[in-house]
Structure 1
Amino acid sequence: MTQRKPHITFWIAAGLGLVWYLAGCMNYIAQTNPASVAQMHESYQLIIKARPAWATAGFAIGVFGGAVGCILMLLRRKVAVAVLVLSLMGILLTGVFITLLVGLAPPVVLSTLIAAALLWYATIARRSGWLA
């Protein structure tokens, strides 16, 4: 299949997705910095300290994978879809931990919906020939 010119919404979705995931990367980095965690509200500190390694790994895979997936989308690479699948899986893993700890929280729902929407759009872009 020949590569076709993407619709303007492709660039908007990939760009906004990258901004979203970069904010998530900054959040992850802040949560791995003890000085930064010490300045957070006590309830956040408890969640961060209680988080097991598998949930932390899911968080890292989710946000860094999402950022890489959006960069790959902007570079119009088909592998973006696979990377965004991994990102969604990481977000779901972290969401399981948060839901078990505090119940279904709005940030979990929002993160999952955004990751799923970006994956859905990337699959549309692949089928439309916008990704090579």
Structure 2
Amino acid sequence: MTYANKPHWSFWLIGIVALSWNLLGVANFVWQMTPDALASYPKAERAIIENRPLWATLGFGLAVIAGSLGCLLLLLRKSAANGFFAASLIGVIVTVLHTLIAVGIGPSGAIVPVAMVLGVAIFLIWYARRTGRYGWLS
């Protein structure tokens, strides 16, 4: 690695913050799978989780697990992170569709969380491609 290919300090900061974000999602995903944790949710939220179709659960899992793996690969400076971030975006889209359509929250009630989650997923794809162009990923 030459000095020219050495990532800026912000690369590490963004990678660590993004990994933390995705690991919180993994923790939430796992937490929702345990009966004791599910029992602690309010009735309305518990009903949504218990009645969530398999495709929506798989989308949620894909979003957070692929996102976490993408962040790990990014921090390891591997270009394979791009594929994992793309898979994560697909999972996010599936999850958002379930939230907007099946749960019936509607765009006005979910605009901020949906925009934030989609924004992070899109940003990570863009950022991984950008860092690849800088020669920071192999």
Task: Please tell me the TM-score bracket, short chain as reference.
Answer: over 0.9
**Shift in Å, 1:109:** 2.2
Match of 2:54 in 1: 53
Distance 2:13 2:100 in 1: 31
Match of 2:124 in 1: 118
Match of 1:65 in 2: 66
TM-score, reference length from structure 1:
0.94
Question: Is there any run of 5+ residues in structure 2 with no aligned partner, and where?
Answer: none
Q: State the AA in 1 paired with 2:8.
A: H
1:89 paired to 2:90: yes
Distance 1:124 1:116 in 2: 12
Offset from partner CA, 1:26-60 (integer Å, 9 cap, x none): 00001111110110111211110121111100100
Offset from partner CA, 1:54-76 (integer Å, 9 cap, x none): 11001001001100000000000
Distance 1:61 1:39 in 2: 24
Distance 2:116 2:123 in 1: 10
SS in 2 for 1:89: helix
Match of 2:45 in 1: 44
Question: Is there any run of 5+ residues in structure 1 with no aligned partner, and where?
Answer: none
Q: State the AA in 2 paired with 1:54.
A: W
TM-score, reference length from structure 2:
0.90
1:103 paired to 2:106: yes
Structure with higher Rg: it is 2
Aligned residues: 131
Q: State the AA in 1 paired with 2:137.
A: L
Q: State the AA in 2 paired with 1:114.
A: V
Q: State the AA in 2 paired with 1:90.
A: G
Q: State the AA in 2 paired with 1:63.
A: V
**Shift in Å, 1:24:** 0.3
Write out the 4+ residue segments of structure 1 that deviate beyond 6 Å after TM superposition: none
C-alpha RMSD over aligned residues: 1.4
SS in 2 for 1:92: helix
**Which has the higher relative contact order, 1 or 2, with Cα contacts under 8 A spaced 6 or more apart?**
1
1:131 paired to 2:137: yes
